[in-house]
Amino acid sequence: MDFLPFTRPSIDEATIAGVAEVLRSGWITTGPKCRELEARLSERYGGRPVRLAASATGALEYALRVAGVGPGDEVITTPLSWVATANVVLTVGAQPVFVDVDRRTRNIDLDHVERAIGAKTRAIMPVDLAGLPVDRDRLYEIARRHSLRVIEDAAQAMGSRWADREIGSTGDLVALSFHANKNFTTAEGGCLVLNTEADARLFEKLRLQGVTRLADGEMDVDIVGYKHNLTDVAAAIGLGQLPHLDAFNRRRAELAARYFDRIDPALGLELPLPDDPGGPGRSNWHMFQPLLPLSRLSLARGEFIEAMKTRGIGIGVHYPAMHRFTLYRRMGWKDGDFPNAEAIGASTVTLPLFPAMRDADVDRVCQALSEVIEPALRNRTA
């Protein structure tokens, strides 16, 4: 039986040929393909400036720098995300301020955000976990009322929508990820959607050593920059991916709907929040993540993952609550600080979900879930 991973990129032959063309061209670092991809993305996001980076982590860091966030400042964010979300705040010398998540959406709880705002708060950094968008209307109402910048960690949300507007087409500074496991990939990479050409020029300097190239061939450096530029090899992958993004996301939605239909309710899994047909939010279904009913099971999460693996099915964990990591414990956070994030982080599992999957693959996963969980439920209650 073939192994079914929890994700796999969909790369067609035309995209592979495009990469080969770049390799043959002799220009493989940042160049015309990167400029073309930036232009295509800008078109998608209503003409807003878009600048590529070697990762969404770099895009987030530079977004903070563009927003003027630095030492002595605080940034409100969620503890339930890939650790880069908080790490970049530390990188610019600021302090992350965690607030708990909403149990159903698993996104940052905007009620808690209101309470966490203080004199040092400069920005809010929400995360669209698994592609489910945070309530943009309320988020920006809070930010406007308190004169805060918003750095949208939309790394997982390419193609998601709020109030019929694609994430990235509106808002403040929006970072998107093109990592290999994302809905749209350049193997590694990301971008920042900005508001002004002046901010875009600042981003360009930050991602390449602070350099400004002058018309006479000279150059100048007026700020400390870094090294986070994307290559044309990666951009060629993105140019091949972009025409398929909407179809990829439609297929993901179909597979998610099948999971909702086929997972046995008797297993006691807490399923993610489905799209509300009448609501403003639309997920891109980057991941499908039920929560295990660990208090009712006779096996631990690691044992569940191994049992699924023996049935040829890969399971991911996205994400542990990051305030429990050693780095953040040293800063004073402890177990019990954010009970919703901790409970979700301890019991979440990521099921296979990618466009090339067949309906039968979902059925196979659901059958394996029953085979693994049902005996564990019986053993716990025996």
Task: Kindly report the backbone phi and psi dihedral angles of residue 355, in degrees, each rounded to the nearest multiple of 5, phi listed first.
Answer: -60, -30
Beta strands 173-177; 190-193: pairing state: antiparallel
Supply the DSSP symbol for 267. G
Helix (H, G, I), strand (E, B) or coil at 128: coil
CA distances 155 to 168, 284, 296, Å, are 11, 12, 34
Residue pair 165/145 in contact by the 8 Å Cβ criterion: no
Region for residue 48 given its phi and psi (left: phi exceeds 0; alpha: psi -120 to 50; beta: otherwise): beta
CA 120/CA 123 separation, integer angstroms? 9
Residues 230 and 237: their CA atoms lie apart, in Å, by 12
Distance CA 382, CA 373 (A): 14
Coil, strand or helix at 138:
helix
The dihedral built from the CA positions of residue 58, 124, 45 and 350, taken in this order, carries a sign that is positive
Bond from prior residue into 140 cis (ω within 30 degrees of 0) = no
Partners of 123 in beta bridges: 75, 149
C-beta separation of 246 from 252 below 8 A: no
Rg (Cα) of the chain, in Å, rounded?
21
Note whether 83 and 322 are within 8 A (CB).
yes
CA 89 to chain centre: 16
Backbone angles phi, psi at 368, to 5 degrees: -65, -40
Q: Which residues are catalytic?
A: 182
DSSP 8-state assignment for residue 298: S
Helix ranges, the chain (H): 13-25, 32-44, 56-66, 84-91, 110-116, 136-145, 197-207, 232-241, 245-262, 301-310, 326-329, 339-347, 359-381
